[in-house]
Amino acid sequence: MAELDTSQGGKHGKGKKKRSKKQSTRVDMTPMVDLGFLLVTFFMLTTTFSKPQTMEINLPARPTPGEKVEDAPELKASKAFTVILGEFGKVYYYSGLTTENAEVKVTDFSEGGIRKILLDKNAMINGLTVLIKPTDKSTYKNVVDILDEMNITNVKRYALVDVTPVDLDLIKKL
């Protein structure tokens, strides 16, 4: 709290003028510091911290030792769409499964690129399955971008698959 110092500053004898008392004031800052810490604590506890945004990916269960692994159901070529991630943000794509005579086209990650193509394919083919094949020259950012595109275009079925030598030959031909 505020204190007042009332001690007399000099001698007061006879014949001398009375001087006015010099009063020194001193403000105690302890309550102000306490209030500051209370406010900081209050705002820290009441704020909502930013939560990281994550995409949920369901992975197949690992078989236990001795358990027989079931074969995956065959994917129809008419419902398959293959996307190959290349270097420098290039995206190669073709309809169907890997064949040597597939018609490969090139696009990028722009809004009019792979997003538009995925939207069109998803509207045309009921039960579309996208096979995502990153090459050794593609970056982690490319994989995250294509997974984001799957989420944006509402493609429900997709799989990350190893790129085959046939796919690499198709890219080299371009």
- pLDDT attached to residue 35: 92
Q: What is the pLDDT of residue 49?
A: 76
Query: How many C-beta atoms surround the C-beta of residue 79 within 10 A?
Result: 17
- Does some domain include residue 83? yes
Q: For the chain, report the end-to-end CA distance as a whole number of angstroms.
A: 82
More confident residue, 110 or 12: 110
Question: How far is the C-alpha of 52 from the C-alpha of 67, rounded, in Å?
Answer: 37
67-95 average pLDDT score: 79
pTM as predicted:
0.60
Residue 33 lies in a domain: no
Mean pLDDT of 109-127: 84
DSSP secondary structure string, the chain? -EEEE----S---TTSPPPPPP-EEEE--HHHHHHHHHHHHHHHHHSPPPPPP----PPPPPPPTTPPPPPPPPPPGGGEEEEEE-GGG-EEEEESS--TT---EEE-SSTTTHHHHHHHHHHHSTT-EEEEEE-TTS-HHHHHHHHHHHHHTT--EEEE-PPPHHHHHHHHH-
Domain, as residue range, for 83? 77-173
Q: Residue 136 corresponds to which tokens in the numbers above?
A: 């050794």
**pLDDT tens column, 129-151:** 888 888 888 888 888 888 888 88
Q: Is residue 99 part of a domain?
A: yes
Say which CATH number the domain at 104 has: 3.30.420.270
Domain count, the chain: 1
**Chain segment 51-61, per-residue pLDDT in tens:** 777 766 666 66
6 in any annotated domain? no
